[in-house]
Structure 1
Amino acid sequence: MTRTPRGQAPDVGVPADLAETMSVAEQHDWVAGFLRRHPVSRRSALRQGSGVVAALGLASAPWTLAACASASQAPVAVVGRHLSFGDDPMRSMAMAGELTAPPQGAVVVELGQNGDFGARLPVEVRRLVSQVPQADGSIRGSDQYFVHALANGLQPGQGYDYRFRLADGTTTATATFHTAPQRPGTPWSFTAFADQGVDMVPPSGRSGFTNAYYKPDDLRRTMTPSTAMVDRIATTRPAFHLLAGDICYADPSGEGHPVKSTGTSKSPSGFDSFDPTVWTTYFGLIERSAASTPWMFATGNHDMEALYDDNAARGARHGYGGHAARLDLPRTGPSACPSVYSMRYGNVGIVSVDANDLSMEIPTNAGYSGGAQVAWLRQTLGDLRADPAVDFVVAFFHHCAFATSSTHASDAGVRAAVAPLFDEFSVDLALQGHNHQYERTNPIRGARSTVQAPDGATVRPETDGTTYVCVGSGGRPRYSWQPNETDRYRGNTGPDSGVNVVSYQATGEATKLPDTVDWSQARYLDYAYVTVDVVPPAGAGQLTTMTLRTITDTGQEIDRVTLERRAR
């Protein structure tokens, strides 16, 4: 039985033929057994490892080390800063980064307002040791130190300044974040995409991401779409950013081959590399936005990293141990599902769903929650709909419930799990990834269109249903449409194949259930993100809107739809 189709989860050194029959927990056990049989000292294991600053390749960037002593003067610095809301976006914020070397004394976060740092927060240092089995029997190691601080008891709707201070007195540049307002009376926005990765081979010279396989006709993009996305998010300064899974692609090729590192940007034929330092490169890439804007993550198939601890202490084995070291996410979901959570910002409720637990196409982690996630989702959606302060409900997750790509299309397991609940609780917007393109549906109920919603339309979710948007167009090389299907967006001068598409639902790696759809309203086969503009109601009984605008990596708006409700 194929549990992990090749190329659909990070390769961590398990022989490819064996890995495809294993769950994440079984792969972890194999790696642990390999390391027990091939003991190495920390010194020898890390001798081949990549340095943090070298992997980052951005040591001189002003948003990275500004206000720190120069690299030649400071043996340790904090790089790749990124924010996440705590459990309550009005009153808590998590601040994280990575040390360029092991800590040399205590690290603290200084927090204040208007340049007055009146509080010091303790910093937790989380060490992540990566020992990656190589195809030749050796082990490649990496030793990373991530720093985390949590601010609680903040005031709603306030701006706060923060900086990391090291034991030698050096500090990072000051960054500013804002908590969620208690009763927003002015418009605000958030942004979203998925499947981002990085645009470059890590400068360490180790095997890593390469963008050399962009298609020759892939011409409507910047040369570095992932970086262009971050630049635009940083300029927009949204209230927060959602990333619907497949974050950095530390497994760059995704082909599931055994690992063999050559010290160059390309592995020999038949091999690829899991490189944990790609995370360092990634955090350096997003810092210009994420140091001041919370980036909220869901997990995708390329985020299941069997290399790390099995997380058994939280009741599940799913390969998210590395994320526990790098990321801070709200802990408002089931205890066994670390990337499942909900939060409220203004009059919008946000729900992160782990589609790996629900997928039929890639069953590596399917069912790991034992049904706890779906039970939690039902309860959470009910609570949000019962809250008179919440008008709109937005869910984001990786594998698509509704999409028409020729590569993944719709996942039958995800659709079966979430679509009936979204119908029942009138979810307004579902943001998805996995398929590397942009696609927006008409509002859907019972898996069918209820009304046509062309570019510029207004949708009333209470009666019309849920709008599903695939925004896996965050930077990774694009996929292709179904045969005879074409792009469909504002400004498209090519043929238009319409909203009716012959597609499929994936029920396994190679098994497909035919699916003739009537809902594929907008399509764009290049790089784009969405900005969602929220206009709060003036009072009870007044209209409130949420307008989704689709922006390409070159800054062109190609699609727009407005969701409208009447506040209670």
Structure 2
Amino acid sequence: MSVNPRGETPDVGVPAALARDMTVAEQHEWITGFLRRHRVSRRTALRGGAGALAALGMAGAPWAQQSRALAAEAPVAVIGRHLSFGADPTTAMAIAGELTAKPGARPIGVDLGTDTGYGRSLPVEIRPLQSLVPQGDGSIRGAEQWFVHADATGLRPGHRYHYRFRMPDGSVTPDASFRTAPVRGDREPFTFTAFADQGVSIDPPDGQKGFKDKYKPTDTRRTPAPSDAMVARIASDEPAFHLLAGDICYADPTGNGKQIKNFAPEEAPEEFNNFDPTVWTAYFGAIERSAASTPWMFATGNHDMEALYDGNTAPGGANHGYGGHLARLDLPGNGPSSCPSVYSFTHGTVGVVSVDANDLSEEIPTNAGYSGGAQLRWLETTLAGFRKDPGVDFVVAFFHHCAFATSGSHASDAGVRKALAPLFDKYRVDLAVQGHNHQYERTNPIRGGRSTVQAADRSTVRPAHDGTTYICVGSGGRPSYTWQKGETDRFRGHTGPDSGTEVTSFLAGRDDAKTLEKVDWSQSRYLGYAYLRCEVVPGRPGGVSYLRVRAITDAGHEIDRVELARDVPRHGAAATSSGWTTHPPTGLSVPGTVPA
């Protein structure tokens, strides 16, 4: 009797006749042994082809359509450098990149210092990642990638450091620098940025056209490559950090976390997802101009569930489809142990929390409930801690599926709203950054599911009394969606029809259920490409702190703005190193005064 029932054998690339009598672990062991005996280079394996296997007598097997031809030897280099805050953002920074080839026996290092004299050498960790992607024609496309990581610890808060990778042959990467977060409660102004649903604006390296962005002929407001334009804007802003609210690179363009079998350039059948691991290489290369010097902090979305690395089963196994992220990404890791993309950090007077909405979604339930409630218990404890901290003025949450949004595609997720809105009401979360819907949309402040005030463009909102402002900024580069029937754009400079703040939308639930609802909170809407530039302006004790949230298009135009204001307690708040500096709503800096 076979181990797997008929028709239920996970397809991870082992010949079907063998796989029937193997567990998933045994199949992985078989594949590892096969690759060890028959080396496959990343460069050639992605093209497939049975020529090299003919000598092994395997060319006739459909699962064996891969090549053993080795790429020409070349010096190992680091590409796609990217940073992430460590568990303590004031003293630790994770430095990462991808190697262009398998490293040899000689070590790779990172030089670190407060100037370009460096002076400190960091050890690195090499994380290999093998991706064996079953194809619709029965072949396998294999990729070997090597990711290099270094942990810079023992750093000083609020200080700038320089670093470079040092290769075995003595070559080095260009110098890059970063700044650690200041001590919690530090009252110097700073800026952070945010968007979601980015993807890449170039064809994937292996040329599979099914992964290429498909922009509509009516998509006239975009720059030629929106994703690249977004990165250029972020790099120009030089923010303290950047938030990406899920759907990072779209290596899985299908996005429902199902078993992977690649049918590109065609869409995968309903029971499978397409997947190309080399899209990650293109992605890291595209964001390096910013991410090499600014920490990019990721939440996970539905397109980030990559079942290939967790037994190629759906739901995504032990790591819920996040196994590949463990090789590619460094996240703070201070959330629940079962939730790798759930974490929090503090930068000055702002507490930030990353939520995994895949655990909460009803619309795409592949990973729904995987934490067994651990995420929400952790989230409540974390939000309560932020609100008790006199040094934290603003609390920002970022996550993928929307609790409050309208669109013709996903709109609001019933499970996410049910889980998060009561907690955000209870702990007075100031700003919720969302993605999933490919659009920009800002709500009025919401409490109890409804608007509390009308917050038009350039308004000031008092979150402690008015509620949470939810912004969908899934406008980071992927092709834009459409609004509900009768719903229109609504932003500064828009001269077309205005359907107002009250529109008909829906709550997305299980089994494609859509519950219609009349909403009163859709304040600003834009179907082009935009990101958030968030300017934090702390006040002194007894004064007012401001968080100015600006929507900036890929062409650099501000189309919407809202200012969040919070009173600062008279006791317990910290000063800046240079004395008190407050910024009234005019934007002028007035030392030693309290804004009106």
Q: Could you say whether these structures have the same fold, taking a TM-score greater than 0.5 normalized by the shorter chain as the test?
A: yes
SS at match of 2:425: helix
Q: Which letter does structure 2 place at the counterpart of 1:348?
A: V
SS at match of 1:523: strand
Q: Are positions 1:102 and 2:95 aligned together? A: no
2:140 and 2:37 map into 1 onto residues whose CA distance is: 9
Aligned position for 1:189:
191
Deviation sequence 1:90-127 (CA, Å, 0-9, x none):
11100000000011221111100121211111100000
Aligned position for 2:80:
80
2:384 and 2:202 map into 1 onto residues whose CA distance is: 43
Q: Is the 8 A contact 2:473 2:531 kept in 1?
A: yes
Correspondences of 1:407-418 after superposition (within 5 Å)? 407-418=409-420
Shift in alpha-carbon separation, 1:180–1:269, aligned structure 2, 3 A: closer
2:359 and 2:298 map into 1 onto residues whose CA distance is: 16
Correspondences of 1:359-374 after superposition (within 5 Å)? 359-374=361-376
SS at match of 1:249: coil
Q: Which has the higher contact order (CA 8 A, sep 6+)?
A: 1
2:260 and 2:337 map into 1 onto residues whose CA distance is: 33
SS at match of 1:81: strand
Aligned-pair distance for 1:434?
Answer: 0.4
Aligned-pair distance for 1:498?
Answer: 0.2
Q: Which letter does structure 2 place at the counterpart of 1:287?
A: E
Aligned-pair distance for 1:205?
Answer: 2.5
Correspondences of 1:519-530 after superposition (within 5 Å)? 519-530=521-532
Deviation sequence 1:346-369 (CA, Å, 0-9, x none):
100000000000001111000000
Aligned position for 1:484:
486
Aligned position for 2:295:
294
Q: Which letter does structure 1 place at the counterpart of 2:533?
A: T
Deviation sequence 1:276-306 (CA, Å, 0-9, x none):
0100000000000000000000000000111
Q: Is the 8 A contact 2:12 2:311 kept in 1?
A: no
Aligned position for 2:156:
155
Q: Is the 8 A contact 2:259 2:308 kept in 1?
A: no
Q: Is the 8 A contact 1:208 1:278 kept in 2?
A: no
Aligned-pair distance for 1:209?
Answer: 2.4
Q: Which letter does structure 2 place at the counterpart of 1:493?
A: T
Q: Are positions 1:439 and 2:441 aligned together? A: yes
Aligned-pair distance for 1:42?
Answer: 1.4
Deviation sequence 1:201-222 (CA, Å, 0-9, x none):
12333455212x2111100010
Aligned-pair distance for 1:31?
Answer: 7.1
Aligned position for 2:429:
427
Correspondences of 1:138-287 after superposition (within 5 Å)? 138-182=139-183, 184-207=186-209, 209-211=211-213, 213-252=214-253, 254=255, 259-260=261-262, 266-267=265-266, 273-287=274-288
1:482 and 1:397 map into 2 onto residues whose CA distance is: 23
Question: Percent identity between the aligned chains?
Answer: 63
**TM-score, L = length of structure 2:** 0.83
SS at match of 1:215: coil
Aligned-pair distance for 1:48?
Answer: 7.7
Q: Radius of gyration: which is bigger?
A: 2
Shift in alpha-carbon separation, 1:135–1:258, aligned structure 2, 3 A: farther
Aligned position for 2:350:
348
Q: Which letter does structure 1 place at the counterpart of 2:126?
A: V
Match of residue 42, structure 1, among 7, 23, 35 = 35
Shift in alpha-carbon separation, 1:216–1:42, aligned structure 2, 3 A: same
Q: Which letter does structure 1 place at the counterpart of 2:136?
A: A
2:140 and 2:503 map into 1 onto residues whose CA distance is: 48
Q: Is the 8 A contact 1:356 1:365 kept in 2?
A: yes
Shift in alpha-carbon separation, 1:512–1:44, aligned structure 2, 3 A: farther
**TM-score, L = length of structure 1:** 0.87
Correspondences of 1:501-512 after superposition (within 5 Å)? 501-512=503-514
Shift in alpha-carbon separation, 1:161–1:180, aligned structure 2, 3 A: same
Q: Is the 8 A contact 1:160 1:178 kept in 2?
A: yes
Shift in alpha-carbon separation, 1:352–1:330, aligned structure 2, 3 A: same
Aligned-pair distance for 1:167?
Answer: 1.5
Q: Is the 8 A contact 2:396 2:433 kept in 1?
A: yes
Q: Is the 8 A contact 2:205 2:278 kept in 1?
A: no
2:212 and 2:37 map into 1 onto residues whose CA distance is: 28
2:375 and 2:343 map into 1 onto residues whose CA distance is: 10
Shift in alpha-carbon separation, 1:52–1:457, aligned structure 2, 3 A: farther
Uncovered stretches (5+) of structure 1, i.e. residues with no partner: 1-11, 16-28, 55-70
Aligned position for 1:23:
none
Aligned-pair distance for 1:136?
Answer: 2.1
1:148 and 1:53 map into 2 onto residues whose CA distance is: 25
Q: Is the 8 A contact 1:311 1:320 kept in 2?
A: no
Match of residue 459, structure 1, among 461, 465, 478 = 461
Aligned-pair distance for 1:146?
Answer: 0.3
Aligned-pair distance for 1:513?
Answer: 1.6
Uncovered stretches (5+) of structure 2, i.e. residues with no partner: 1-9, 14-21, 48-70, 570-596
2:117 and 2:216 map into 1 onto residues whose CA distance is: 51
1:376 and 1:248 map into 2 onto residues whose CA distance is: 28
Q: Is the 8 A contact 2:407 2:437 kept in 1?
A: yes
Q: Is the 8 A contact 1:155 1:179 kept in 2?
A: yes
Q: Is the 8 A contact 1:198 1:209 kept in 2?
A: no
Aligned-pair distance for 1:87?
Answer: 1.0
SS at match of 2:477: coil
Aligned position for 2:57:
none
Q: Is the 8 A contact 2:260 2:312 kept in 1?
A: no
Q: Is the 8 A contact 1:194 1:245 kept in 2?
A: yes
2:12 and 2:72 map into 1 onto residues whose CA distance is: 39
Deviation sequence 1:407-460 (CA, Å, 0-9, x none):
101001000101000000000000000000000000000000000000000000
Match of residue 392, structure 1, among 387, 394, 413 = 394
Aligned position for 1:382:
384
Deviation sequence 1:124-156 (CA, Å, 0-9, x none):
000000111112222111000000011111101
